[in-house]
Every structure is written in structure tokens, then in C-alpha cells.
């Protein structure tokens, strides 16, 4: 059993616990999302010890050198001093400038910043409530001159954070937004490459950002967006996407409905199955996946088996965390 | 002094060239694909890379004990010699596809063989 020290509090880490497990059990307010080392939401720093190698897997060398590590992957090998990200340092105050419903359960939240807010479309940020409660959300737009950032917020049953965003946060209120993170975004290279975007629900948010970015940067290869839900009422931005596909010859939009009622103009079936049935070979394609974890995992494997290189498969790491 | 197998086979670039081809073969191999049904692709790709580095005689930190622990849950699922052989066969086919000379493939197979008993928990 090792001792974890944060400022002047000491916590014990049980032998089978990760640092994240121990801190959550002790009710320390630490941001996290995927709990499996992918999203980097729970990255912390140990000023006095070198963290175990496994806890630094996938981090940039510059971060490793500064003893940053992922709390969710860290089984301590000795007592550790731990520094949580200094939240006042990493967060920027934005102002809510618009909130409107995209469909029956999804809110489009637009936040404006005084100064330029730099990010790549498809990245995510942590949003923080004044009491410190923190959740990760993908950015749904591309960088704008107006310094606005958009989020798609699905109301989760008993989701403390999403209910607060839906019911209490008003236009004019301020919201703390972290620096952007994540590696799921468009790079303007190999512009003739095929791009496959597959998402469920609000998984559309980062995909829409990536799509807008790719089109704006003059991507010439075919771009296919498959957006799925059980019922048509849970899809959104349908007309906008259809319009976009009329304006861009290389962009194809396929909304999918997995429920029994499939209106005309929609494909019937699960989004991953519809997408996979549309391609015999994905060799050379770039793939972006976001949404339901099972769908994402299944598609990571299937697109790889259909020929996409593992380095060309980008997936959003989010899981909705129980509150 | 003669060059190590890892140098002769082409080092890390060779690992990178082989990893996708090899992993795709493994996932498509009906004899063994069930062992990979519930794995995370990204973590698994990192493991495959580590495995290939080891099989190519490169730097690695695996001990026999790690091999035992890492495969114990698969042994419980029925992992046996036939599955081990299938993986080695897929690796051989990968290297042939990449035009690696037969004598180097033999050396790689020999390295794999040294792990057989640990992997199968014997």
C-alpha cells in the first residue's frame, strides 16, 4: 500500500487500485473519462518521483520528461507526490451566446471567448461547473473568427452535468472550458484519400467538425458520413448535411435508423453495418469513429480488417461516465 | 562482428511494416480469431508491436513470467499448441509477403519457439 500526497492531504492506494481508483474512492475531484489510458483526461504529474513506465504509455516525450502520467493506468511502485492540473491555469472562461435544441434531447451550446481559442476541429475539452464537476465534450465546429466554440449536449437520464447544461445554464452565463485535447482531427495531407466518418448520436459533433475542416481545406477524395440512431427523432442536422452533400460532389451523407420505422431517404440498420456493407475495400482510407463504445470498437476492428491501416483509424475515446 | 537478427531484418521499420499485415492475418484466422474478440484494437496493436520486436530479436522487457501471466486467461479459454502454431504460421506468411529471406524467417520462428511453454503455461 502506497501513500499518495496531494498538497497537504494524504491518501492510501490499495494494492489492486490505480491512482485514479484511489482518488475517486477518496472523493478527490479529478477529471477523467475513458479510464483506459486513451483520452488523457486524468493526466496528472508527480513532481518528486518518476512514474511507472506503463502509466506514461502514449504520452508525448515532452510530457514524460515532466513526470506527467495517466492516473487511470498508474499502479504506484512507491509513495507519490501528486499534482493535479491547476485548474485555474488550464481553464478559460467563456460566455454562453446561444443555446437551442437540435432535436428532442440534444442541445447546441455555443460559447464565445474574448481572445482566440485555438483548437483542431474534432478535439475535445473539459467543461467545468462552478462547484468543480467536470465532463468532457467534443467541439463540433471549426475555429471561427468570432472565437466561438460549439458543443452538442445530449441529455442523459440523471446526468448531473448534462441536466445542468440543459436546464440551468442560460445565455450570458460563463462557463469554464479547458484547453483542447485529443488527436482525432483532420490533417491536410493526402487530400485525395477517401475519408469514412461513422458516428452515433452526439458522436456527430467531432465528425461534423472534421468534415467541415476537410472540405474547407480542399480535400478532394470521397468523404462518406454515416450518422446513426435508433429513431429519426434522435438524429439532427439532417437538412444541413443533405445541403452540404449537394454543394460538394465528393461528400456523401447517409443517415441510418436502426429502429423499425425507417422513413424514406434513410438507410435501415445499424450505422456500422450499413457503413461496412457499402465498402468492399478500405485500403488507403482514413477512418474517424465516434459514439457508442461498442460501435466504435467493432468498427475499429472491421475497418482495419477491410484494409484501413491502423495508423489511419481515429476514434474518439469517450464513454459516458456514470454520475 | 556479425549483425544481430534485429539489424539484419531491418529493425523498427520492419516491425512497423509487418505489424498491420500480421495482425490482420491473425484476426482473419478462424483458428485463433476468437481469442481477440474482446480486445481493444489500440492496446492490441501496441502489444503486437512489442511481440514482433521480440520475435525479430529486438530489445524487449518480456520475462517468461510475463508471458505466463499475459496468456493465462487465454489458456483458460483453451489456448493450446495448435493455436500457438497458427500464430507462428501467420507470422511466417507475413514475413514471406514482405520478401524476408527464408533463413531469417527460420530464426524468427526459433525465437517464437523459446516462448511456447511459457505462453501455454506449462
Q: Which residues of B touch A310 (CB under 8 A)?
A: 19-20, 23, 41-42, 45
Is 60 exceeded by the pLDDT of residue A317? no
Binned at pLDDT 50, 70 and 90, residue A86 comes out as low
Q: Report the run of H or E that residue A137 belongs to, with start and end.
A: strand A134-138
CB contact under 8 A, B27 and A304: yes
pTM score of the predicted model: 0.74
Q: Which residues of A touch B41 (CB under 8 A)?
A: 297, 300-301, 304, 310, 313
pLDDT, tens only, A101-156 = 999 999 999 999 998 888 889 989 999 998 889 899 999 999 988 899 999 999 99
pLDDT for res A35: 78
pLDDT for res A39: 67
Count of structural domains within chain A? 3
Average pLDDT, chain B: 90
**A143 domain residue, yes or no:** yes
Considering CB atoms only, which of B41, B43, B46 is closest to A301?
A: B41
pLDDT, tens only, B17-36 = 899 999 999 999 999 999 98
Distance, CA of A131 to chain centre: 23
- What is the percent of chain A with per-residue pLDDT over 70, rounded to a whole number? 94
**A320 domain residue, yes or no:** no
Q: Which residues of A touch B20 (CB under 8 A)?
A: 304, 309-310
Q: Least CA distance to B40: which residue of chain A?
A: A297
Cβ neighbours around B78 below 10 Å, total: 10
**Domain at A100, CATH number:** 2.40.30.10
Considering CB atoms only, which of B19, B20, B27 is closest to A301?
A: B27
**Domain at A76, CATH number:** 3.10.20.30
pLDDT, tens only, A11-39 = 999 989 999 999 999 989 888 876 777 66
Q: Cα separation of B23 and A294, whole Å? A: 20
Q: How many CB pairs under 8 A join A and B?
A: 28
**A186 domain residue, yes or no:** no
Cβ neighbours around A105 below 10 Å, total: 18
Considering CB atoms only, which of B28, B41, B46 is closest to A300?
A: B41
Q: Work out the minimum CA distance from B45 to partner chain A, whole angstroms.
A: 8
Average pLDDT of the segment spanning A264-288: 96
Please state the φ and ψ torsions of residue A224, each to the nearest 5 degrees: -115, 125
Q: Under the phi-then-psi rule, with left for phi > 0, alpha for psi from -120 to 50, and beta for the rest, what region is B121?
A: left
- pLDDT higher for A136 or A311? A136
Residues 6+ apart with CB under 8 A from A173: A95, A96
pLDDT for res A85: 74
Domain span at residue A43 reads: 2-81
By the 8 A CB rule, do A228 and A258 touch? yes
CB contact under 8 A, A297 and B19: no
- pLDDT higher for A269 or A64? A269
Q: Cα separation of A178 and A176, whole Å? A: 7
CB contact under 8 A, B41 and A57: no
Least confident range of A87-91, A94-98, A107-111:
A87-91
Binned at pLDDT 50, 70 and 90, residue A58 comes out as confident
Q: Cα separation of B53 and A163, whole Å? A: 49
pLDDT for res A84: 87
Q: Which residues of A touch B24 (CB under 8 A)?
A: 304-305
Do A75 and A127 share a structural domain?
A: no
Q: Cα separation of B98 and B117, whole Å? A: 28
Q: Least CA distance to A311: which residue of chain B?
A: B20
Average pLDDT of the segment spanning B93-122: 95
**A189 domain residue, yes or no:** no
Is 50 exceeded by the pLDDT of residue B103? yes
pLDDT, tens only, B45-78 = 778 888 898 899 987 767 888 889 889 999 999 9
DSSP string for A12-61? EE-TT--HHHHHHHTT-----SSSSSSS-TTEEE-SSSPPPGGGGTT--H
Do A101 and A68 share a structural domain?
A: no
DSSP string for B42-64? HHHHHHHHHHHHHHTT------H
Q: Cα separation of A169 and A6, whole Å? A: 32
Task: Specify which residues A313 forms β-bridges with.
Answer: A287
Q: Which residues of B touch A38 (CB under 8 A)?
A: 42
Do A101 and A143 share a structural domain?
A: yes
pLDDT, tens only, A176-197 = 999 887 778 888 889 999 999 9
**Residue written as grid cell 489511419:** A312
Q: Cα separation of A321 and A144, whole Å? A: 30
**Domain at A265, CATH number:** 3.40.50.80
Considering CB atoms only, which of A57, A301, A309 is closest to B20?
A: A309
How do strand A251-257 and strand A267-268 relate by DSSP bridges? Answer: parallel
Average pLDDT of the segment spanning A271-292: 95
Least confident range of A244-248, B10-14, B30-34, B114-118:
B10-14
Show which of A41, A65, A81 is a domain's final residue: A81
By the 8 A CB rule, do A289 and A314 touch? yes
In chain B the first and final C-alpha atoms are separated, in Å, by: 36
Q: Least CA distance to B24: which residue of chain A?
A: A305
Q: Report the run of H or E that residue A257 belongs to, with start and end.
A: strand A251-257
DSSP string for B62-112? --HHHHHHHHHHHHHTT--HHHHHHHHHHHHHHHHHTT--HHHHHHHHHHH
pLDDT, tens only, A141-174 = 999 888 999 999 999 988 999 999 999 999 999 9
Q: Strand, helix or coil at A243?
A: helix
Do A44 and A136 share a structural domain?
A: no
**A217 domain residue, yes or no:** yes
pLDDT for res B65: 86
CB contact under 8 A, A310 and B20: yes
Do A172 and A104 share a structural domain?
A: yes
Residues from A contacting B (CB-CB < 8 Å) are 36-38, 57, 297, 300-301, 304-305, 309-310, 313, 315
Is 90 exceeded by the pLDDT of residue A48? no
Q: Work out the minimum CA distance from B63 to partner chain A, whole angstroms.
A: 16
Do A152 and A95 share a structural domain?
A: yes
Is 80 exceeded by the pLDDT of residue A220? yes
Dihedral sign for Cα atoms in the order B92, B98, B102, B104: negative
Average pLDDT of the segment spanning B6-11: 91
Do A153 and A98 share a structural domain?
A: yes
CB contact under 8 A, A57 and B23: no
ipTM: 0.80
pLDDT for res A323: 38
pLDDT for res A64: 78
Domains in chain B, please, with CATH? Answer: 9-56+65-119 (1.10.490.10)
Amino acid at each position: 500500500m502506497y501513500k499518495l500526497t496531494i498538497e497537504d492531504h494524504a491518501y492510501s492506494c490499495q494494492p489492486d487500485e490505480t491512482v485514479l481508483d484511489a482518488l475517486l474512492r477518496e472523493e478527490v475531484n479529478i477529471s477523467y473519462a475513458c479510464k483506459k489510458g486513451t483520452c488523457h483526461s486524468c493526466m496528472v504529474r508527480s513532481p518528486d518521483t518518476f512514474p511507472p513506465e506503463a502509466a506514461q504509455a502514449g504520452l508525448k516525450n515532452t510530457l514524460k520528461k515532466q513526470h506527467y502520467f495517466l492516473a487511470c493506468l498508474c499502479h504506484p511502485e512507491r509513495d507519490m507526490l501528486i499534482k493535479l492540473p491547476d485548474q485555474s491555469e488550464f481553464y478559460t472562461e467563456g460566455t454562453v451566446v446561444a443555446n437551442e435544441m437540435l432535436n428532442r434531447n440534444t442541445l447546441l451550446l455555443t460559447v464565445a471567448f474574448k481572445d482566440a481559442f485555438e483548437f483542431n476541429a474534432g478535439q475535445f475539452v473539459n467543461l467545468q461547473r462552478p462547484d468543480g464537476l467536470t465532463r468532457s465534450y467534443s467541439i463540433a465546429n471549426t475555429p471561427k473568427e468570432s472565437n466561438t466554440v460549439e458543443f452538442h449536449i445530449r441529455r442523459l437520464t440523471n446526468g448531473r452535468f448534462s441536466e445542468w447544461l440543459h436546464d440551468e445554464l442560460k445565455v450570458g452565463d460563463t462557463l469554464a472550458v479547458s484547453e483542447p485535447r485529443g488527436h482525432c482531427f483532420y490533417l491536410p495531407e493526402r487530400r485525395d484519400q477517401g475519408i469514412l466518418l461513422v458516428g452515433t448520436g452526439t458522436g456527430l459533433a467531432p465528425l461534423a467538425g472534421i468534415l467541415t475542416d476537410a472540405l474547407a481545406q480542399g480535400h478532394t477524395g470521397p468523404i462518406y458520413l454515416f450518422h446513426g440512431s435508433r429513431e429519426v427523432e434522435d438524429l439532427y442536422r439532417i437538412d444541413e448535411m443533405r445541403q452540404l452533400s449537394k454543394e460538394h460532389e465528393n461528400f456523401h451523407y447517409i443517415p441510418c435508423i436502426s429502429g423499425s420505422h425507417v422513413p424514406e431517404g434513410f438507410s435501415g440498420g445499424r450505422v456500422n453495418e450499413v457503413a461496412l456493407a457499402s465498402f468492399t475495400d478500405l485500403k488507403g482510407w482514413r477512418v474517424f469513429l465516434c459514439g457508442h463504445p461498442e460501435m466504435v470498437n467493432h468498427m475499429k476492428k472491421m475497418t482495419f480488417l477491410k484494409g484501413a491501416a491502423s495508423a489511419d483509424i481515429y476514434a474518439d475515446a469517450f464513454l459516458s461516465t456514470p454520475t | 562482428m556479425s549483425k544481430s537478427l534485429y539489424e539484419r531484418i531491418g529493425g523498427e521499420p520492419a516491425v512497423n511494416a509487418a505489424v498491420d499485415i500480421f495482425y490482420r492475418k491473425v484476426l482473419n484466422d478462424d483458428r485463433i480469431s476468437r481469442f481477440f474478440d474482446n480486445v481493444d484494437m489500440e492496446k492490441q496493436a501496441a502489444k503486437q508491436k512489442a511481440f514482433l520486436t521480440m520475435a525479430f530479436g529486438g530489445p524487449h522487457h518480456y520475462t517468461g513470467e510475463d508471458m505466463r501471466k499475459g496468456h493465462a486467461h487465454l489458456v483458460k479459454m483453451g489456448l493450446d499448441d495448435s493455436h500457438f502454431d497458427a500464430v507462428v504460421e501467420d507470422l511466417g506468411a507475413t514475413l514471406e509477403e514482405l520478401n524476408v529471406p527464408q533463413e531469417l524467417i527460420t530464426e524468427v520462428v526459433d525465437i517464437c519457439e523459446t516462448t511456447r511453454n511459457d505462453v501455454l503455461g506449462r
